[in-house]
Amino acid sequence: MRFAFAILLSLATASAQTPAPASPSAATNKPAAKSEDQSTVKARALLDKAIEALGGSAYLNYSTRSEEGRSYSLYHSQSRGPGTIYRRFYRYADKDRVEFALEKGIGVYDLIPFPIPVPEGKSNKKTDVALIHNGDKGYEVSFKGTEQEDAKDTTDYLRRRARSMEWVLRKWIHEPGVALFYDGTALGNANLADKVTITNSRNESVTLFLDTTTHLPTKKSFAWRDATDKYQNVEEEAYDNYKPVQGIMTPYTLSRYYNGDLVSERFLSKVKYNDELADSLFEAKSHPRKQLIAN
C-alpha cells in the first residue's frame, strides 16, 4: 500500500481529546515579561495576529474536522497520476482517519459511498483503503483486513503530527520552556511573510511564514536528522486558497515539500468543523503486518 502511504504524506495533520476552551490570544494572555527581548515580543505579537486571522477562539476550540477532496502524489515534482479521492476525519489532538478511493474514473465525489462498491463482475474486493492513527498507533484497513502500519510510516506520521499547525499553535506555545524568535521577512509561498520560529523544550523547532498583510500562515517548515544516515531533512507545507468555514479560515490548497521537492498536493472540496464523530471511526483491531519469507 505504498501508494496510499505516499498520499497520506500530504496530510499532516493531527487528533484526541476535545480541548478545554482557550482565549483567542493563544500566544499569551499576559503582557510580555520585561526580560523578553524584542525578537520574542514581536514573535508573540505576530502569533496572536495569526491566531486571530485564523478565527481566534473558533480556531483554538474546534474539536473535530471532516474534509473531502483529491490528493496527488508527485515524484520529482511530477504527478504520478490523476489523483486520488479521499475523506479525512480528525479529532483533535491525536485521532485521525483517512479513507482513499482507489477506483479510477470516479465522477462526482458526493455520490460515492464508503466503502466504495465494486462494479459487478469485476471482483469481490473493495477498492478503498483507510489509514487510522489513534495515539501513537497506526493501522491500515483494506479488503485484506486490518494490519498494523509499517513502523517507519507510523514514525513519519507522528513526526509530522507533532509539528502540525494545530499542535504548534494550540499546544507548543503554552508549554514551559518554549522559545519564540522573529526571523525577519522572506517569501513564503510566493507572498512576503514574517518568519516566526517556535522551539519547544525538546529542542524541536517549527518556522511559520505569516503573510505580512493578512497574517495567515502561508508556509510551515521544520528540519529533522535521520537516525540512520545522519542526514538532515527539511519538510515544508504551503497553504493557499483560504476560505472561511464556520468562522475558521481554512486553506483549500495544501502542498507538501521534502528536501525542496514537491511530493504531494491536496485540493479540498468540502470542510466541516465540530461534527459528532463516532469513536469507532478511530478504532482498529489488527494483527502484525505479514512479513515476506524467502523460500
Instruction: Report the 3 state secondary structure along 87-98.
Output: EEEEECCCEEEE
**Distance from C-alpha of 153 to C-alpha of 283, rounded to nearest angstrom:** 18
pTM above 0.85, yes or no: no
- Enumerate the H helices of the chain as residue ranges: 2-8, 38-54, 57-61, 151-162, 165-170
Cα–Cα distance between 282 and 139 in angstroms, integer? 10
- Length in residues, the chain: 295
Q: What is the pLDDT of residue 143?
A: 82
Q: What is the pLDDT of residue 101?
A: 85
- φ, ψ of residue 169 to 5 degrees: the values are -85, -20
The answer regarding whether domain 2-25+37-282 maps to CATH 2.50.20.10 reads: yes
From first to last of the 295 residues of the chain, give the pLDDT tens digit: 444 444 444 554 444 334 444 445 545 554 444 557 999 999 999 999 999 999 999 999 999 999 999 999 887 767 767 789 999 999 999 999 999 986 554 433 333 444 444 444 444 444 488 999 999 999 999 888 899 999 999 999 999 999 999 999 999 999 999 999 999 999 988 889 999 999 999 999 999 999 999 999 999 999 999 988 989 999 999 999 999 999 999 999 999 999 999 999 999 999 999 999 999 999 987 666 554 333 3
- How far CA 64 is from CA of 92, 115, 261, in Å, comes to 6, 22, 31
Q: How many angstroms separate the CA atoms of 267 and 11, rounded?
A: 11
Where does residue 205 rank: exposed (0-12), middle (13-18), buried (19+ CB within 10 A)?
A: middle
Return d(Cα 132, Cα 140) in angstroms, integer.
6
Model pLDDT, residue 17: 39
Q: Tell me the backbone φ, ψ of residue 204, rounded to 5 degrees.
A: -100, 135
Taking phi over 0 as left and psi of -120 to 50 as alpha, with beta for the rest, 89 belongs to beta
Q: How far apart are CA 83 and CA 10, in angstroms?
A: 12
Q: How many whole angstroms separate alpha carbon 55 and alpha carbon 58?
A: 5
CA–CA dist 13, 217 (Å, integer):
15
pLDDT value of position 19: 43
Rounded CA-CA distance 35/114 in Å is 55
The Cα–Cα gap between 19 and 3 comes to: 33
Domain positions in the chain: 2-25+37-282
Residue 99 near residue 129, CB atoms below 8 Å? yes
